[in-house]
Amino acid sequence: MTHPGEDHSDAGSDPGSAAGSASPAARSAAMATPGADLPDPDGPGLPDSPASGPQASGPQLPGAHATGPRPARAPGLTEAEVAERVARGQVNDVPVRSSRSTREIVRANIFTRFNAIIGVMFGIILVVGPIQDGLFGLVIVANTAIGIVQELRAKKTLDSLALIGEAKPQVRRDGAARTVPTSGIVIDDTVLLGIGDKVVVDGRVAEADGLEIDESLLTGEPDPVLKHPGDEVMSGSFVVAGAGAFTATKVGREAYAAQLAEEASRFTLVRSELRSGINDILRFITYLLIPTAIGLVVSQLAVEGNDWREAVRRMVAGIVPMVPEGLVLLTSVAFAIGVIRLGRRQCLVQELPAIEGLARVDTVCLDKTGTLTEGGMDVIELRALRRADGEPGEEPAVLQQALGAMGGADSRPNPSMQAVIDAYGPPGDGGWRVLEAMPFSSARKWSGVQLLEPQGTEASWLLGAPDVLLPAGDPVLAEVDELGAKGLRVLLLGRTPSALDGPDPAAALEPLALLVLQQRLRDDAADTLRYFEGQQVRAKVISGDSAVSVGAVAAHLSLPGAEHPVDARTLPAGQEELAEVAERTSVFGRVTPQQKRELVGAMQSRGHTVAMTGDGVNDVLALKDADIGVAMGTGSDATRAVAQIVLLDDRFATLPSVVAEGRRVIGNIERVATLFLVKTVYSVLLALLVVFTNVPYPFLPRHSTVLSTLTIGVPAFFLALAPNNERARTGFVRRVLRLAVPGGVIAGTATFTAYMLARADHTSDLKADTSVATLTLFLVAMWVLAIVARPYTWWRLLLIGVMGGAFALVMVVPWLSDFFQLSLEGTRDAWIGVGIAVVAGLLLEVVWRVVVRRTDA
């Protein structure tokens, strides 16, 4: 039984919650206590279902008795039986990985189409020489090694975090409960279940204590399924109410959801706009590269017919810069470093595209309990209510004893019920006996216990949301609203003669008292909300608690719009109308799990990228449908299973870092993609111009190497890792090509113009002509770098200056200029090249301003 008025059925962060225990050892110890995991066989029996009759459905107080059959609790396997099954291979050995294997990482970084092209070109240069023209091959080797090392570091981080966040199922062996890794479950194991627990293997229900299983992730059916002993349970489903145990019948790859689970938890680089956009660009470049390269080969062999080695070198120099080999590398490195950075903040990225999704988030939906508030609560008042005739109500002592009995019937107390237990404790043998218990569900918003009272009267006691248990307009609700407006959690304690399995147990409810609890706000919640507001990310609180109470908490944290909370029971049914309400509302209360899902869908229908945070089973559907699901580490197994991001330390303040990391990665990849594609465009254009004019290609491979390194390779590496808080938008390919295509055309045209003017001066040789072209292209490429690096910071200006200084050294230091075959004869051609570069730079500025204006529009 969980807290009746809570906005999720598993509190997650409470030490007493089975699914949310921060300490698996403590959870194991609690479960090992007689009657803690399920009723003791010497005590009350387990019901087939809450509606099957007045049978005991929870641990009873001393002297309690039960009606109905009392099935014996299975002791589970012995250690010898477990060892025998392990020896036979009947163990849950499905390899669930959070990252690619080392072999896959190495293969993915080495065996690429562009590495193959570069490798062939490098082999050719090794044959024709000299070695300085093969520097590009060594650069590729170094870049590939960097990519492998960074991904291996990310793998290490992911694997260690995944181990921390892995589900820890409990099994009963030798009559005692113990925690085992998922891979340690064997055939015929008795696996224990509580609220929020994920069913990790297939099995057959052996014990059921109001056990309700949500199979929506497997079947698509949203309604929980009530399970009886003998019913089948499938891996991938999860518990939303009650408790129980099942016998494992299929483990490993035979389990229903084993393959799905393996694929869902795999570290992946696919299914993202960024990756697909880059792949589309690379595919187009490949098609363009082949005919251009063929034409270049033919033309250079024709032009340099007397020196085939020189022709081959210049052909290689034309082909190599067409390949944006570093773009894929830096994309992988940026993602990998993002994973490492988030890992240091105890944030587990279960799907790599989640980093990209975070960059695009403009709406964050927050669950109040466990997100804005901490798990713990304190009872500050038990306010007895007068009877309908105005007479005094029940004595406080009686109310406290009843609450104590309810607390004693809860084997898995969450923060709210733990506060009740701490305040009143389970009573001694005072004559209160539990006959039947109805577990909490998010749909009902209450839980109940049928008690045999000391005077021998049987009655059902309900504890839950006042606005659900009481009819509209009841005068008690005004009192509830007054307390809720102060940010307090208010529950109604009532008694009814109706049976818990009746059609409406709350119909004849006699309200007896208001239980007032105080929630503990997270210290970092207000600062986190202010961060989202400053970053133009809308925060919306979607809670199952009272709208007035949620609004008060949100107002205390200064959330815009908190003064107008909306009760979800008044929400329209149509998606368009719902989307309209969601646009203008910041706080929703009394939201059911299905409504959470519908609200997420409504906001997505308006073009918003939605992130959803949660820790309880009632958040699962919304987490799954959101663009990005963020689960708390101590939340239920089910939430962690469907979320893309898991905050292992439960710190709400980590979310700004997570969003910022996503923006940094995507924004910077867009920057460096522009640099690489400008190079590809001007390289293709130069090759075509050379083919059509039948002149020697202006560069040798060593020239392309120094240009690519100083204007793209080194700067791109630093820019890819720089801070970047700009929210990413869709249309990655379109935005990149808007600058890359005209920028490449301008750079290529300027370079070829300077080259041809230098060739017209018959006093210079090919080396001097090449030097003029190299100088012109370097200056134009640096101008592109200066545009891409905006807005400027001290280190970005320093980076541009260092790259310019490095090129100056290459030109003036004798041994470097000899090594790279660069030599400017006289000043006229050099200054012509500089002038052409300045004109090209001004054209780039015009293009840039037009691109920015169109992009902003």
Amino acid found at 200: V
User: Is the preceding peptide bond at 130 cis, omega within 30 degrees of 0?
Assistant: yes
Question: Residues near 549 by Cβ (< 8 Å), separated by ≥ 6?
Answer: 484, 485, 487, 488, 489, 490, 589
Tokens, residue 765:
């040789």
Q: Which residues of 184-208 are buried (b: 16+ CB within 10 A; e: fewer)?
A: bbbbbbbbbbbbbbbbbbbbebbbb
Query: 291-324 in b/e burial notation, b at 16+ Cβ within 10 A?
Result: ebbebbbebbeebbeeeeebbbbbbbbbbbbbbb
Q: 455: buried, middle or exposed (CB in 10 Å: 19+, 13-18, 0-12)? A: exposed
Which residue has 């909490």 as its token pair? 440
- Three-state secondary structure string covering 91-130: ECCCCCCCCCCHHHHHHHHHCCHHHHHHHHHHHHHHHHCC
51/434 Cα distance (integer angstroms):
16
Sign of torsion over alpha carbons 212, 213, 219, 221: positive
Helices (H), 388-474: 396-408, 415-424, 466-469
DSSP code, position 569: G
Catalytic residue among 10, 367, 545, 625: 367
H/E run at residue 190: strand 190-193
Task: Specify the amino acid at residue 244.
Answer: G
Q: What single letter denotes the amino acid at residue 26?
A: A
Distance CA 573, CA 579 (A): 10
Burial of 336-374, coded b for 16+ CB within 10 Å and e otherwise, reads bbbbbbbbeebbbbbbbbbbbbbbbbbbbbbbbbbbbbb
367 is catalytic: yes
Residues 6 or more apart from 273 whose CB is under 8 A from it?
356, 730, 732
What is the rounded distance in angstroms from the CA atom of residue 397 to the CA atom of residue 192? 36
Give the E-state strand segments of 564-672 in sequence order: 566-567, 587-589, 610-614, 628-632, 645-647
Give the Cα-Cα-Cα angle 431, 437, 440 (nearest 5 degrees): 135
* Catalytic residue IDs: 367
